[in-house]
Amino acid sequence: MKLIILGCYSATPRAFTNPTSQVLDIQNHLFLIDCGEGTQVQLRKHRIKFARIRHIFISHLHGDHFFGLPGLISTLVLLGREAPLHVYGPKGIKEAITLLLKLGNSWTNFPLVFHELSSREPQLVFEDEKVEVHTIPLDHRVYTNGYLFREKPGPRKLDIDAVLRYNIDRCYYRNIKNGRDVLLDTGEWISNEKLTSDPPVPGSYAFCSDTVYKPGIIGQLKGVGVLYHESTFLEEHKDLAVKTKHSTAKQAAEIAAGAGAGKLILGHYSVRYGNLEVFREEARTVFPDTELAEDGKVFDF
Amino acid sequence: MKLIILGCYSATPRAFTNPTSQVLDIQNHLFLIDCGEGTQVQLRKHRIKFARIRHIFISHLHGDHFFGLPGLISTLVLLGREAPLHVYGPKGIKEAITLLLKLGNSWTNFPLVFHELSSREPQLVFEDEKVEVHTIPLDHRVYTNGYLFREKPGPRKLDIDAVLRYNIDRCYYRNIKNGRDVLLDTGEWISNEKLTSDPPVPGSYAFCSDTVYKPGIIGQLKGVGVLYHESTFLEEHKDLAVKTKHSTAKQAAEIAAGAGAGKLILGHYSVRYGNLEVFREEARTVFPDTELAEDGKVFDF
């Protein structure tokens, strides 16, 4: 899994800071998460092939999380895209995009499929053989979802030495990887655990932005590999966080600690703070394995 | 008058090219003309005070001319703007912006006044003591207007030597500047032309983008000081220009020559051409005083 931060600042785009957008490279998918103004330029700067993006997940309909979407879709039209594009986001997103395209007297020559969300409970919104994506209902000034991306467990790892030792035919390998025991010609049963080891732990990534401190999501996030959690403010401005329904760095760390996350990535910084390091310092008092998102930064995990 | 080019490329924003937007600094107004995605960042880069923009003129509702507007307006909300903002543009622009603000559960705390356009004839859309702005109906794939900005003639220039020679009281100066003759105490009439000279020729600027070659606009542009005219293509791709309702550099020059413009500025280039100089060369075969718009360039005239 690879996470590319295209933008991680709150509010409006500036000369050197971009509003929220990121790309999750997972099991051959390039999932685009949020799409603030300027996202298509950031995609170009990072040489990400537009054609590889087939699913876009929008958290909520504040401009700094989706005003780049109409332009990105218009660009896909100009590029002659034919493959379907799936857009997941709050109810209303379809009307907005449709109206903007209609006003420009244009429409997509590719299927543009909207998956409008309105549930307050976690929902499975995408699934294939290797990945599933659930919403994480958040609490912000407008209807907002985070997204939880989970790899499915892969097949068990074949112990080549063992299968050769038992002289097992290749045609059984697939079944063995899927956990089956084997009956030898001698009539002896060989248990699966003698022939395989556990597959790698499936990766998972949770994107939680924007939201007020919401410990209610911890249950859903238990054991998550990497958690991106907004930290618009520091504790010194906790009152502002409550008022605007955002979180502090320490609160983000408390969510990460409660969930037993492998790693915490902070982002969605207010530009009032000069130095991002203060966010990490505050979070590390609660959750040591904290990293800072920065525009253009790539996380491999 | 000063013209600041924030973006002058056609189609979509790229890492180093911006879609259409420009600022005209005229008689203490900062008029924003078109607002492609990324315009607010370009405004910041050029240190243009958002508060000074009170009038925004949108030519048409293709994304590369107005997808930066929702974000700019949202930023003005965050900045706590109180002064009214006037937006001129095709019918539909109000519905689009209103819907986007509504979806974000926000509204402006300043008066946001839409002046929706649908006429196919030139219209006076703005006027104060010093400037007037007319639409220039263009012909593109959607309803489109250019804009003609005209300074009003100032008062006549007082010839101080002459008024002193005739011993004319200061209280008459204002009337004299406004063209009145003066009756001396001796009963002698002094004609205005003995006391004044002509004021500076009022400046004018015409913005014409996007449009197919439309000689019908020449009448309205007669004697214009500076003409910005789109030149998406070169003559070698004239067929594409006709098909997509754009102009070539040579056609832009023909409009400038026909109107007897003082200067032609080209822009809205297709990115298919590596070197902008080819546009100027082509236009100069018809109209020598041709300049190239470039992102970030400032024209003083």
Q: Which of B73, B104, B119 is the last residue of a domain?
A: B119
Residue B13 has a pLDDT of 83
Residues A41 and A142 in one domain: yes
* CB-based contact, A116 to chain B, within 8 Å: no
Residues A132 and A213 in one domain: yes
Residues 6 or more apart in contact with residue B172 via CB below 8 angstroms? B163, B180, B182
Q: What is the mean pLDDT of residues A204-215?
A: 98
| Mean pLDDT over each residue of chain A, to the nearest integer | 96
Residues B80 and B172 in one domain: no
Residues B101 and B174 in one domain: no
Strand order across the A124-127 sheet: A124-127, A131-137, A145-151, A204-208, A226-230, A263-267, A290-292
A12 has pLDDT over 90:
no
Residues 6 or more apart in contact with residue B67 via CB below 8 angstroms? A67, A70, A71, A74, A100, B19, B35, B36, B37
Cα–Cα distance, B125 to B113 (Å, whole number): 13
Residues 6 or more apart in contact with residue B157 via CB below 8 angstroms? B177, B196, B197, B198, B199
Angle at B69 between CA B67 and CA B70, to 5 degrees: 90
Residues B70 and B184 in one domain: no
Q: Is B164 left (phi over 0), alpha (psi -120 to 50) or beta?
A: alpha
Q: How many domains does chain A have?
A: 2
Distances (CA, A) of A173 to A119, A170, A192, A281: 43, 5, 11, 50
Strand order across the B290-292 sheet: B124-127, B131-137, B145-151, B204-208, B226-230, B263-267, B290-292
* CB-based contact, A141 to chain B, within 8 Å: yes
Chain B hits for A40, Cβ within 8 Å: 12-13, 37
Give the H/E segment covering residue A70.
Answer: helix A69-78
Each residue of A75-119: pLDDT tens digit? 999 999 999 999 999 999 999 999 999 999 988 999 999 999 999
Q: What is the mean pLDDT of residues A172-198?
A: 94
pLDDT digits (tens), chain B, 301 positions = 999 999 999 988 888 899 999 999 999 999 999 999 999 999 999 999 999 999 999 999 999 999 999 999 999 999 999 999 999 999 999 999 999 999 999 889 999 999 999 999 999 999 999 999 999 999 999 999 999 999 999 899 999 999 999 999 999 999 999 999 999 989 999 999 999 999 988 999 999 999 999 999 999 999 999 999 999 999 999 999 999 999 999 999 999 999 999 999 999 999 999 899 999 999 999 999 999 999 999 999 9
Partner-chain contact A67 B74, CB within 8 Å: yes
Residues B3 and B113 in one domain: yes
Residue A274 has a pLDDT of 82
Chain A hits for B141, Cβ within 8 Å: 105
Partner-chain contact A71 B67, CB within 8 Å: yes
Residues A184 and A125 in one domain: no
Residue A106 has a pLDDT of 86
Name the nearest CA neighbour of B24 among B57, B47, B51: B57
* CB-based contact, A37 to chain B, within 8 Å: yes
Question: Do the domain assignments include residue B77?
Answer: yes
Please spell the DSSP secondary structure of A25-54, one letter per residue.
Answer: EETTEEEEE---TTHHHHHHHTT--GGGEE
Partner-chain contact B95 A95, CB within 8 Å: no
Residues of A with catalytic annotation? 64
DSSP A199: P
Q: What is the mean pLDDT of residues A212-240?
A: 98
Question: Do the domain assignments include residue B238?
Answer: no
Residue B15 has a pLDDT of 86
Residue B14 has a pLDDT of 86
CA distance B141 to chain A (A): 8
How many beta-carbon contacts under 8 Å exist across A and B?
Answer: 98
Distances (CA, A) of B173 to A138, A212, B272: 70, 66, 58
Residues A100 and A182 in one domain: no
Q: Whose structure tokens read 């209807």?
A: A143
Cα–Cα distance, B69 to B117 (Å, whole number): 17
Question: Do the domain assignments include residue B52?
Answer: yes
Q: What is the mean pLDDT of residues A252-262?
A: 98
Chain A hits for B40, Cβ within 8 Å: 12-13, 37
Each residue of B182-227: pLDDT tens digit? 999 899 999 999 999 999 889 999 999 999 999 999 999 999 999 9
Q: Which of A197, A219, A252 is the last residue of a domain?
A: A197
Residue A14 has a pLDDT of 86
Percent of chain A whose predicted confidence (pLDDT) is above 90:
95
CATH number of B47's domain: 3.60.15.10
Residue type, B150: R
Residues B179 and B81 in one domain: no
B101: domain range?
Answer: 1-119
Residue B11 has a pLDDT of 84
Residues A220 and A261 in one domain: yes
Burial of B232 (C-beta count, 10 Å sphere; 0-12/13-18/19+): buried
Q: What is the mean pLDDT of residues A228-238?
A: 98
Each residue of A141-152: pLDDT tens digit? 999 999 999 999
